[in-house]
């Protein structure tokens, strides 16, 4: 069932006992659990945190940690699964689900005791009514029908004449036939409703922002907690998990929080500054810290990269300009010339560029966006300022955290990568963030080359109603696509590039299925 009051229906309940937190491997979930951690530590609540990647890991973690646990919090996992059927918990255990994945499993929605969903239902979710899915009289009807059939068969065996047989058959009166007909109609309608409800997968509201709402209602919000919520929302937008209109609605809500917490007005340029409010909440220090709302460009990590590399390796500009072609490369040079940006300046790090060019760069890109098919290149974003020199855009955090999370190797296990990603949110551990940015730059450049090679070698195959892309084992750096985020980003990049290259109208409507080797020893693969 859905929880309407986060404080009374969730926090007041879990605050009295030890809780188990199971977290998915994604940026939004990590931001959400980081916020929840701060709230729990503020009240000295004992908790156990376990990251999980698959259903098997979910079951294993629950079995190992369920001793003396009454409450389990699932963050971005479990919402689309029948939790009670999969985990088979004891009656005294209650699950609280904070999951942005949709659609939510219908059994979780109508579980009145053990499963409680914290994310409110979306308007477009169209949850079927209880009566249309669950028939309370189902078992009794089946028992009655079976008894009637048994009586009928026994009577037919014991009768002595044809006339008596016919009389016994008439016991199935008209009302029974009507009930059977109505039941068939109900079952057909049930199948249709479930198919319509579950046929598409999509994302709802950010789990991180939901946890920030809890902190706000408990009067424990801070600049750090708000920033983590912003990173969670931005991850959904940058990785294509949410539509632009939903993102804009979240931006409006966030702007209100910034104005309240930072005690300043929201600005759309870099000229004015926000002052840090004095708060005695967790995570805040005496360091001058503020968040600014401003429009930014859909260019990946351009403040930490060269302009030329950011333009070439960002998915938005690469697809719009078809930069994998010779003609696209010429257009890139043309754009730099039209902006009056010398090649020497565009090929050095952004922070080393001429100050005048840096100040004019946003305006120059906005000016040429209409003439070069770069529509909607700008979007409302947020900037974190710490002191006078340290500045990070929320998208920088997203790319860095994705890269840190999915660059597991022999030295770093997936669990270690998870905790390193959590640490990158801490301002005292800025090295993790900077290292993640360098890894992200490498991943983006490698992804561009992989898509370029796939298009040149016609590896994006059209078969029936789908495009297919298979990352062959043994391909250079193919092991990085054994992770869901990297493979999803590659699939999205390849599909958009294929549509931009194709002249067929049909190509714009076809989805793409991407596959990469997950474990060669077990002959398993990852499919998105």
Of the three residues 76, 98, 131, the one that is the final residue of a domain is: 131
* 183 — pLDDT class (breaks 50, 70, 90): confident
Between 283 and 200, residue with greater pLDDT? 200
| CATH code of 89's domain | 3.90.1640.30
Query: pTM here?
Result: 0.86
By DSSP bridging, strand 378-386 and strand 289-297 are antiparallel
Averaged pLDDT score across all residues of the chain: 84
Scanning the structure block, which residue is given the tokens 């008596």?
A: 164
Whether residue 401 is contained in a domain is answered as no
Its domain, for residue 511, covers: 456-527
Whether residue 87 is contained in a domain is answered as yes
Q: Are 201 and 101 in contact (CB under 8 A)?
A: yes
Q: Are 291 and 227 in contact (CB under 8 A)?
A: yes
What pLDDT does 186 receive?
A: 86
What pLDDT does 264 receive?
A: 43
Range with top average pLDDT, 173-187, 254-268, 339-353: 339-353
Residue 201's nearest CA partner among 511, 418, 518, 482 is: 511
Is the pLDDT at 3 greater than 60? The verdict is: yes
pLDDT digit string, tens, across residues 262-308: 764 333 333 333 333 333 344 444 457 889 888 999 999 999 999 99
Of the three residues 105, 131, 157, the one that is the final residue of a domain is: 131
Question: What residues have CB less than 8 Å from 519, skipping those under 6 apart?
Answer: 482
Rg (CA), the chain: 28
Whether residue 138 is contained in a domain is answered as no
Whether residue 444 is contained in a domain is answered as no
- SS3 call for 144: helix
Whether residue 272 is contained in a domain is answered as no
Measured on CA atoms in the order 316, 102, 482, 227, is the torsion positive or negative? positive
Q: How many domains does the chain have?
A: 2
Is the pLDDT at 78 greater than 90? The verdict is: no
What pLDDT does 38 receive?
A: 93
pLDDT digit string, tens, across residues 409-450: 667 788 999 999 999 999 888 889 999 999 999 999 999 999
What pLDDT does 410 receive?
A: 66
Q: Are 382 and 394 in contact (CB under 8 A)?
A: yes
Whether residue 66 is contained in a domain is answered as yes
Task: Taking residues 187-206, report their average pLDDT.
Answer: 88
Whether residue 420 is contained in a domain is answered as no
Whether residue 338 is contained in a domain is answered as no
What pLDDT does 173 receive?
A: 65
Residue 448's nearest CA partner among 358, 255, 314 is: 314
Of the three residues 131, 148, 173, the one that is the final residue of a domain is: 131
- SS3 call for 221: coil
* 261 — pLDDT class (breaks 50, 70, 90): confident
Q: For a pLDDT cut of 70, what percent of the chain falls above it? A: 87
What's the burial of 168, exposed, middle or buried (CB within 10 Å: 0-12/13-18/19+)? middle
pLDDT digit string, tens, across residues 27-76: 999 999 999 999 999 989 999 999 999 899 999 999 998 888 899 999 99
- The neighbour count for residue 331, using CB atoms within 10 Å, is 18
Q: For a pLDDT cut of 90, what percent of the chain falls above it? A: 40
């Amino acid at each position: 069932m859905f929880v309407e009051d986060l404080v009374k229906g969730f926090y007041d309940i879990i605050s009295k006992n030890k809780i188990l937190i199971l977290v998915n491997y994604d940026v939004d979930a990590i931001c959400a659990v980081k916020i929840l951690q701060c709230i729990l530590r503020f009240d000295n609540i004992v908790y156990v945190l376990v990251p999980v990647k698959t259903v098997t890991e979910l079951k294993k973690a629950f079995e190992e940690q369920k001793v003396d646990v009454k409450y389990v919090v699932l963050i971005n996992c479990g919402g689309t699964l029948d939790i009670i059927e999969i985990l088979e918990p004891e009656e005294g255990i209650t699950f609280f689900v904070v999951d942005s994945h949709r659609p939510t499993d219908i059994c979780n929605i109508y579980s009145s005791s053990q499963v409680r969903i914290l994310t409110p239902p979306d308007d477009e979710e169209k949850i079927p009514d209880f009566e249309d899915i669950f028939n309370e009289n189902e078992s009794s009807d089946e028992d009655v029908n079976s008894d009637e059939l048994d009586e009928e068969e026994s009577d037919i065996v014991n009768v002595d004449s044809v006339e008596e047989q016919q009389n016994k058959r008439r016991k199935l009166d008209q009302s029974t036939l009507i009930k059977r007909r109505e039941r068939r109609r109900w079952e057909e309608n049930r199948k249709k409703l479930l198919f319509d409800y579950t046929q598409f997968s999509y994302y709802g509201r950010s789990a991180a922002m939901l946890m920030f709402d809890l902190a706000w209602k408990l009067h424990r919000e801070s600049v750090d907690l708000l920033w983590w919520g912003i990173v969670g929302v931005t991850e959904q937008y940058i990785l294509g998990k949410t539509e632009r209109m939903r993102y804009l609605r979240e931006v409006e809500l966030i702007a209100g929080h910034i104005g309240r917490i930072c005690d300043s007005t929201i600005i759309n340029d870099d000229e004015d500054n926000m002052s840090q409010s004095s708060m005695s909440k967790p995570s805040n220090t005496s360091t001058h810290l503020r968040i600014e709302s401003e429009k930014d460009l859909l260019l990946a990590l351009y403040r930490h990269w060269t302009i030329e590399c950011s333009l070439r390796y960002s998915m938005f500009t690469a697809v719009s300009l078809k930069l994998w072609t010779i003609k696209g490369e010429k257009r890139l040079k043309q754009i730099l010339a039209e902006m009056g940006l010398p090649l020497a300046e565009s090929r050095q790090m952004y922070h080393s560029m001429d100050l005048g060019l840096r100040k004019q760069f946003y305006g120059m890109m906005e000016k040429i966006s209409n003439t070069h098919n770069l529509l909607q290149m700008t979007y409302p974003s947020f900037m974190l300022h710490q002191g006078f020199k340290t500045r990070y855009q929320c998208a920088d955090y997203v790319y860095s955290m994705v890269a840190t999370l999915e660059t597991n190797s022999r030295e770093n296990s997936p669990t270690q990568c998870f905790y390193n990603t959590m640490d990158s949110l801490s301002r005292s551990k800025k090295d993790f963030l900077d290292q993640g940015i360098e890894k992200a730059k490498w991943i983006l450049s490698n992804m561009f080359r992989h898509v370029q090679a796939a298009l040149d070698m016609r590896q994006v195959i059209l078969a029936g109603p789908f495009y297919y892309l298979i990352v062959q084992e043994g391909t250079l750096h193919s092991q990085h696509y054994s992770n869901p985020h990297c493979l999803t980003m590659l699939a999205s990049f390849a599909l958009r590039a294929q549509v931009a290259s194709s002249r067929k109208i049909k190509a714009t409507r076809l989805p793409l299925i991407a596959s990469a080797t997950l474990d060669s020893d077990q002959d398993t693969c990852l499919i998105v």
